[in-house]
């Protein structure tokens, strides 16, 4: 068995059955081995940021890691931005990066690069395999890291792949998710019983299933509020589920929302800070006098902690309809109308992938009363995550419609993902909100106090020429049409939901 064969064997033995890939020459032995030992679904992306973003979306819905197959340092580099987003989402991914043969590296052939150096910025675990006999064990160690919701990068020099005497790495037993100490629960209970204004800030697994229900019980029983972080890997929401607002993206709004609280209980969340710094504005979004409590750190068992806390508080079971939490009002009449349209039509069990910077908040606010769905955000701020995440989410959740809400600026970053959606016949409806600007940047420029001059305008408008999304989708094999009103949007959404494969709607704002 070659090293490459032992690697494929090991991935299979460790429960990996999806590999998002863009292989090159140094990965040919691995690709050949995939055919000799079938069982891994291989999905081609036409650029590596599609590959890594798909792996992120896959983890979020499958709750287990996919592998990626990348070509040398520059192939990895192309996928770093979405690995950065995945790291912020705590998505587990196992990157397999082929590289120059060990004896070839010193010759500094053109593709030679600092592959390890680039991997480290996103990976919890980085290793370059040194021998065909041990690359199987390396891969098992990588999968163990991936299963914990972290990124593992295994670099495999070509000769390690083609050399003989590979052996299969057996799965490591996965230790249970660490539980918070009892004093963390007692401490949160004390804050909630203080009757002072208290916020439970939810992140990670606390936004799903029983954990979210328990957080809601606690809020109703104590008068505390619950809120999610600004950007979350996945929230279960819609009718019959607790309504959860997110910390606003805009600093002034966030400061105003968080001003009343005297206790902030972090549940799988980190202390809320602004996305960027602004002159004269604080970076921490909670008031200085607010006391921080950690109920569960992001890597700890938030569901366990919330269940314990709810029981300690003897919080009665309640139905989510009783939430009584104010709903944020969408801004702008047009945005509100399109948000209502999407809210009304979202199919049951949809997976919403949100990278619509400008329209996203209004759609989020409105869709609390949609059919039950999962909502996935861009978590790391590196735009270009949405279309690839939709690929991975659709593969992880067959039978569910993925609704990909996309900005035109962000969508252009990884437009290649549409081709993979077409090839894999994925049930993805993409809505591109084409405002033909980097609208967020125009708002940011205003915050800087500058009127946009001709250069600034030129850097922030996506017109001249306008991007024709219907042409782009058609060129990549995805059925597409354009909507200029909410009525047309509604009609095209219905059409798209009747399709088994992908569909793109360009909505002109």
Using CB under 8 A, which residues numbered 335 to 394 contact its own copies?
379-382, 384
Distance in Å, CB of 415 to its own copies, minimum: 7
Which residues pair with residue 376 across a beta bridge?
A: 353
Distance in Å, CB of 467 to its own copies, minimum: 6
For residue 315, the 8-state DSSP code is P
Should residue 398 be labelled a site residue for its own copies when binding is judged by CB under 8 A? no
Cβ nearer to its own copies, comparing 59 with 419: 419
Q: Which of residues 167-226 bind its own copies (CB under 8 A)?
A: none
Cβ nearer to its own copies, comparing 80 with 366: 80
Closest listed residue to residue 381, CA positions, set 172, 86, 164? 86
Binding segment toward its own copies, per CB under 8 A, in 99-107, 329-337, 429-437, 487-495? 99-107
Cβ nearer to its own copies, comparing 42 with 508: 42
What is the longest distance spanned by two Cα atoms in the chain? 69
> Please, what is the Cα angle at 322 between 316 and 327, to 5 degrees?
135
Residues 351, 430: Cα–Cα separation, whole Å: 12
Residue 140 burial (CB count, 10 A): 18
Distance in Å, CB of 175 to its own copies, minimum: 26
Q: Which of residues 78-97 bind its own copies (CB under 8 A)?
A: 78, 80-81, 84-85, 88
Among 200, 368, 409, 434, binds its own copies (CB under 8 A): 409
Cβ nearer to its own copies, comparing 140 with 382: 382
- State in Å, rounded, how far the first CA of the chain is from the last one: 57
Cβ nearer to its own copies, comparing 158 with 339: 158
Cβ nearer to its own copies, comparing 113 with 371: 113
Distance in Å, CB of 102 to its own copies, minimum: 9
* CB within 8 Å of 20: residues ≥ 6 apart: 43, 45, 50, 51, 52, 54, 55, 58, 66, 67, 68, 69, 391, 392
Cβ nearer to its own copies, comparing 104 with 148: 104
Binding segment toward its own copies, per CB under 8 A, in 104-112, 132-140, 328-336, 483-491? 104-112
CB-count exposure of residue 432 (10 Å: 0-12, 13-18, 19+): buried
Binding segment toward its own copies, per CB under 8 A, in 76-84, 237-245, 299-307, 395-403? 76-84
> Please, what is the Cα angle at 181 between 179 and 183, to 5 degrees?
145
* Binding flags for its own copies, 441-480, as an x/- string (CB under 8 A): x--xx-xx-x-xxxxx-xx--x-xxxxxxxxx-xxxx---
Residues 198, 196: Cα–Cα separation, whole Å: 6
Q: How far is CA 491 from CA 171, 211, 238, 433, 482, in A?
A: 49, 37, 22, 16, 11
Q: Which of residues 34-73 bind its own copies (CB under 8 A)?
A: 34-36, 38, 42, 44, 46-47, 49, 72-73
Cβ nearer to its own copies, comparing 133 with 197: 133
Q: Which of residues 216-235 bind its own copies (CB under 8 A)?
A: 231
Cβ nearer to its own copies, comparing 314 with 455: 455
Q: Which of residues 276-315 bind its own copies (CB under 8 A)?
A: 276-277, 279, 283-284
CA 32 to chain centre: 31
Distance in Å, CB of 223 to its own copies, minimum: 29
Residues 385, 166: Cα–Cα separation, whole Å: 36
Where in 12-106 does DSSP place strands (E)? Answer: 18-21, 41-44, 66-71, 93-99
Cβ nearer to its own copies, comparing 23 with 320: 23
Cβ nearer to its own copies, comparing 50 with 345: 50
Residues 464, 436: Cα–Cα separation, whole Å: 9
* CB within 8 Å of 449: residues ≥ 6 apart: none
Q: Which of residues 108-167 bind its own copies (CB under 8 A)?
A: 108-111, 113-114, 117-118, 120-122, 158-159, 162
Which residues pair with residue 94 across a beta bridge?
A: 67, 152
* CB within 8 Å of 269: residues ≥ 6 apart: 201, 202, 203, 204, 206, 228, 229, 298
H or E element in which residue 340 lies: helix 333-345
Distance in Å, CB of 295 to its own copies, minimum: 20
Distance in Å, CB of 488 to its own copies, minimum: 20
Where in 435-475 does DSSP place strands (E)? Answer: none
Among 29, 263, 373, 401, binds its own copies (CB under 8 A): 29
- The 3-state DSSP class for residue 311 equals helix
Q: Which of residues 234-273 bind its own copies (CB under 8 A)?
A: 270, 273
Binding segment toward its own copies, per CB under 8 A, in 135-143, 187-195, 291-299, 413-421? 413-421
Cβ nearer to its own copies, comparing 399 with 453: 453
Q: Which residues of 188-199 are buried (b: 16+ CB within 10 A; e: fewer)?
A: bbebbeeeeebb
Number of residues this chain uses to bind its own copies (CB under 8 A): 99
Q: How many helices (H) and strands (E) does the chain have?
A: 21, 18
Binding segment toward its own copies, per CB under 8 A, in 20-28, 57-65, 188-196, 211-219? 20-28
Distance in Å, CB of 45 to its own copies, minimum: 10
Cβ nearer to its own copies, comparing 346 with 478: 478
Distance in Å, CB of 509 to its own copies, minimum: 18
């Amino acid at each position: 068995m070659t090293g490459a064969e032992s690697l494929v064997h090991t991935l299979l033995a460790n429960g990996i059955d999806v590999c998002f890939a863009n292989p090159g020459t140094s990965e040919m032995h691995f690709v050949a081995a995939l055919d000799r030992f079938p069982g891994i679904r291989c999905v081609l992306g036409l650029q590596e940021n599609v590959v890594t973003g798909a792996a992120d979306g896959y983890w979020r819905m499958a709750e287990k890691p996919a592998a990626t197959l990348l070509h040398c340092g520059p192939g990895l580099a192309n996928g770093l931005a979405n690995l950065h987003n995945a790291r912020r989402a705590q998505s587990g991914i196992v990157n397999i990066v082929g590289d120059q043969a060990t004896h070839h590296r010193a010759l500094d052939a053109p593709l030679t690069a600092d592959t390890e150096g680039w991997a480290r910025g996103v990976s919890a675990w980085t290793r370059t395999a040194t021998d065909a006999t041990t690359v199987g064990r390396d891969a098992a160690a990588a999968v163990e890291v991936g299963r914990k919701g972290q990124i593992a990068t295994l670099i495999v020099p070509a000769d390690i792949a083609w050399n003989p005497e590979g052996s299969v790495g057996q799965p490591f037993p996965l230790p249970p998710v660490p539980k918070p100490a009892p004093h963390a629960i007692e401490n949160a209970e004390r804050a909630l019983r203080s009757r002072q204004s208290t916020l439970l800030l939810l992140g990670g697994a606390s936004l799903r299933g029983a954990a979210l229900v328990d957080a809601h019980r606690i809020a109703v029983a104590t008068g505390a509020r619950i809120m999610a972080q600004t950007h979350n890997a996945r929230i279960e929401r819609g009718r019959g589920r607790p309504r959860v607002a997110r910390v606003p993206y805009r600093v002034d709004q966030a400061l105003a929302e968080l001003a009343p609280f005297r206790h902030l209980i972090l549940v799988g969340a980190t202390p809320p800070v602004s996305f960027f710094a602004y002159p004269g504005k604080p970076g921490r979004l909670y008031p200085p006098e607010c006391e921080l409590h950690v109920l569960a750190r992001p890597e700890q068992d938030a569901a366990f902690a919330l269940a314990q806390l709810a029981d300690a508080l003897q919080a009665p079971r309640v139905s989510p309809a009783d939430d009584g939490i104010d709903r944020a009002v969408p801004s702008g009449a047009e945005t509100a109308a399109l948000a209502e349209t999407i809210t009304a039509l979202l199919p049951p069990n949809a997976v919403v992938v949100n990278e619509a910077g400008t329209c996203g908040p209004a759609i989020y606010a409105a869709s609390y009363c949609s059919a039950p769905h999962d909502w996935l955000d861009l978590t790391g701020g590196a735009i270009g995550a949405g279309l690839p995440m939709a690929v991975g989410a659709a593969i992880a959740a067959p039978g569910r419609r993925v609704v990909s809400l996309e900005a035109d600026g962000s969508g252009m970053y990884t437009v290649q993902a549409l081709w993979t959606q077409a090839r894999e016949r994925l049930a993805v409806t993409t809505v591109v909100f084409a405002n033909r600007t980097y609208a967020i940047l125009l708002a940011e420029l205003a915050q800087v106090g500058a009127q946009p001059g001709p250069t600034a305008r030129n850097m922030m408008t996506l017109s001249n020429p306008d991007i024709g999304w219907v042409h782009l989708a058609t060129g990549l094999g995805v059925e597409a049409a354009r909507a200029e009103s909410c009525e047309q949007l509604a009609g095209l959404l219905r059409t798209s939901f009747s399709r088994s494969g992908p569909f793109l709607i360009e909505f002109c704002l």
